[in-house]
Chains A and B, each alone.
Chain A
Amino acid sequence: MQPQHPVQIAVSNTETIAGATIVQSLGLVTGSTVRAKNIGKDIMAGLKNIVGGELGTYTQLLNEARNQALQRMMADAQARGANAVVNVRFATSAVAGGAAELFAYGTAVIVQG
């Protein structure tokens, strides 16, 4: 479920958070979304494929989807009472039917200071 207000907690893909110390680890948190590209975007991308270069419609679609996966991960962390997520990693896999899964995971922690 998409949170009504975007979750705001510190997120980084490093092992530490600037100016704070990690006092407790709350385990692994994940967020994922599977997005299918629609036929309109397919047609646009198909036409763009003739000349090559950037396929802007897919870029935008995947960017939004990745943002949502990240938001879900942050919501998961917040639900556990964390105030930061460290060592975040992204993974993407193309699944059947022209859809892609966007996945984000990290370690939810409580930081102080």
Chain B
Amino acid sequence: MAESAESIIALLSILPSILPIILILFSAVYGTIYQNGLDKKRLNREMAFFNKYGKDNLMTLENHGLIGKPVAMNLVFTNVTVGPSWWQLFIGWLKGIFGGEIQSYSRVLNYGRMEVLQRLREKAAQEGWDQVINVRLESVVISKSAGRNDKTSAIEIYAYGTAVKY
């Protein structure tokens, strides 16, 4: 009885030193599964959207005369905040030593861009607009607080455009 209690105490005492390793392994395994799931969900939503409407309702052009004369318009915007996982940060840091493309970051940003555009499509369609013209995409690094070692790293990506009805 006393021995098992001792072994539990021993386990607890080494826990703080092995916890980061456990978390980073968790991040590598579960994070990858989770992000694959997110990608799949987004792709399914895109497929569903194109099957329903048959076309992409976003364009960066301002010249709506190409399609017709709009009778109503309004500004629409959507956003998403994404962050790389600890594992991806670690891989990125390693890659940063040698240079070249950091695929783990590209992947996160790519997901964010595609996601925010899909949200804009869905939002505009749900509100009954026919097209979104003059779409602009911007991104900003947030949560880099001054003078503090901030563990979170987040990038906000937002998209906006003018929704029009013909």
Binding site for B on A (CB under 8 A): 10-15, 17-19, 37, 42, 45-46, 48-56, 58-59, 62-63, 66, 70, 88-94, 96-98, 100
- A66 surroundings in chain B (CB, below 8 A): 77, 79, 158
| Interface contact A17-B84, CB-CB below 8 Å | no
- B150 surroundings in chain A (CB, below 8 A): 98
- A51 surroundings in chain B (CB, below 8 A): 26-27, 30-31, 34-35, 85
CB contact under 8 A between A12 and B74, given known A51-B31, A59-B79: yes
- B71 surroundings in chain A (CB, below 8 A): 18-19
- B108 surroundings in chain A (CB, below 8 A): 52-53
| Interface contact B146-A17, CB-CB below 8 Å | no
- B72 surroundings in chain A (CB, below 8 A): 18-19
| Interface contact B31-A46, CB-CB below 8 Å | no
| Interface contact A52-B145, CB-CB below 8 Å | no
| Interface contact B133-A52, CB-CB below 8 Å | no
For residues 58 through 76 of chain B, which have their beta carbon under 8 Å from a beta carbon of chain A?
Answer: 62, 64, 69-75
User: Mostly helix, strand, loop or mixed at chain A's interface?
Assistant: mixed
User: Mostly helix, strand, loop or mixed at chain B's interface?
Assistant: mixed
| Interface segment out of the listed B8-16, B44-52, B136-144 | B136-144
Q: Which of B88, B112, B140 contacts A93 (CB 8 A)?
A: B140
9 contacts between A and B (CB under 8 A): A12-B73, A14-B133, A18-B73, A19-B69, A52-B108, A53-B82, A55-B81, A70-B77, A100-B156
B106 → chain A closest CB, angstroms: 13
Binding site for A on B (CB under 8 A): 23, 26-27, 30-31, 34-35, 38, 62, 64, 69-75, 77-88, 108, 111-112, 115, 133-134, 136, 138, 140-146, 148, 150-154, 156, 158, 160-162, 164-165
| Interface contact B164-A48, CB-CB below 8 Å | no
CB contact under 8 A between A55 and B82, given known A62-B156, A70-B75: yes
- A46 surroundings in chain B (CB, below 8 A): 151-152
Q: Which of B26, B83, B134, B160 contacts A48 (CB 8 A)?
A: B83
- B38 surroundings in chain A (CB, below 8 A): 53-54
- A96 surroundings in chain B (CB, below 8 A): 145-146
| Interface contact A52-B31, CB-CB below 8 Å | yes
